[in-house]
Structure 1
Amino acid sequence: MAETSTITVRNNPDRHRYELLDGGTVIGTAHWMPFEGPEGPQRIFYHTTVDEAYGGQGLGSALAREALDDTTAAGLPVVPVCPYIKKWLAEHPDHPTDRAPVQPEHLAAVPRQERQ
C-alpha cells in the first residue's frame, strides 16, 4: 500500500493532463483538452485513471478534486466527458465547479481512441 504522505497532484499543461504522483512517479492521470465554445474557453475532461496498485485509497477522488479546483481557479468551465469526472461531480453537487453540459461538438473534439 502506498503512503499517502508522498502523494501530490500537478497540472502538466504540455501533456494536457493532471498527474497524480507518488514521489516522482506518475500513478494516475486526468486527461483534458482545451475547447473554444460559443461562450468562450472550456476544458474537456475525457479520461481519468489511477494505477491499480493504488486503488481503494480515495486517490482518484483527490485527483478529480484538485483538477477541478485548478480548472475553476483558472476561470474555465468543466466539460465532463470522462465517466469518472461526471460521476465525481454528481456525487459532489455542492462543489464549486463551473460545469458546461456535454454537447455533440465536445464529443467530436475528443479523439475517438480517447473516448471512454
Structure 2
Amino acid sequence: MTTTTITNNPDRSRYEMLDAGVVIGQAAYFDDVAGDQVAGQRIFYHTAIDDGYGGRGLAGKLAAQALDETVAAGLRIVPVCPFIKKYLGKHPGYAPNVAAPTPAHLEFLRASLSQRAQRVTR
C-alpha cells in the first residue's frame, strides 16, 4: 500500500479514500440544502473499504475525517450507516453534533437515492 489520502468529493456526495489516486473506500452522504426538516444535517448512509484493504483501520480513519469535516462545516451528523453508528458509539465526543435518524431523514434519503438512480439511468 502506498500513501492513502482522504478527500471530500461533493459532486459524488461522498468522502473518498484513495491509494495512489485509486478510490479504495468511501463514506457516502447526502446534505439537505433545501431547508426543510433536515436542513443543516449530513446523512451518512454507507461506508465501505475495498476487501483488499480491510483490517487496517482505514474505515475508522475515513470516518474520523468525514465526521470532523462535517462538524467543522457546521452540519449535524445523522448516522444511518451501521459503521458510522458504531464509530460514533466508540467516540462520544461527537455526541453534541449528532442527530438521531427520524422518519423525515429516511424519507429525504430515500428521495435523494431515487433521484440519483434516475439521473444514472438517463
TM-score range normalised by the length of the shorter chain: 0.7 to 0.9
Q: 1:68–1:79: structure 2 CA closer, same or farther, 3 Å change rule?
A: same
In the alignment, the residues of structure 2 paired with residue 107 and residue 21 of structure 1 have an alpha-carbon distance, to the nearest angstrom, of 29
Give 3-state SS (helix, strand or coil) of 1:49's partner. strand
Equivalenced residues, count: 110
Q: How far apart are residue 16 of structure 1 and its match?
A: 0.3
Bigger Rg, which one: 2
Which amino acid counterpart does residue 90 of structure 2 have in structure 1?
A: E
In the alignment, the residues of structure 2 paired with residue 88 and residue 109 of structure 1 have an alpha-carbon distance, to the nearest angstrom, of 23
Q: 1:8–1:102: structure 2 CA closer, same or farther, 3 Å change rule?
A: same
How high is the TM-score relative to the length of structure 2?
0.82
How high is the TM-score relative to the length of structure 1?
0.87
1:23-102 equivalences under 5 Å are 23-35=20-32, 36-38=35-37, 40-95=39-94, 98-102=97-101
Give 3-state SS (helix, strand or coil) of 1:62's partner. helix
Root-mean-square deviation over aligned CA pairs:
1.8
Where structure 2 has 5 or more consecutive residues not aligned to the other structure, the ranges are 114-122
Return the structure number with greater strand share.
1
In the alignment, the residues of structure 2 paired with residue 99 and residue 79 of structure 1 have an alpha-carbon distance, to the nearest angstrom, of 6
Deviation by residue 1:58-111 (Cα, 9 ceiling, x = unmatched) = 000000000000000100000000000000000111247611111011111223
Q: 1:37–1:92: structure 2 CA closer, same or farther, 3 Å change rule?
A: farther
Return the structure number with greater helix share.
2
Where structure 1 has 5 or more consecutive residues not aligned to the other structure, the ranges are none
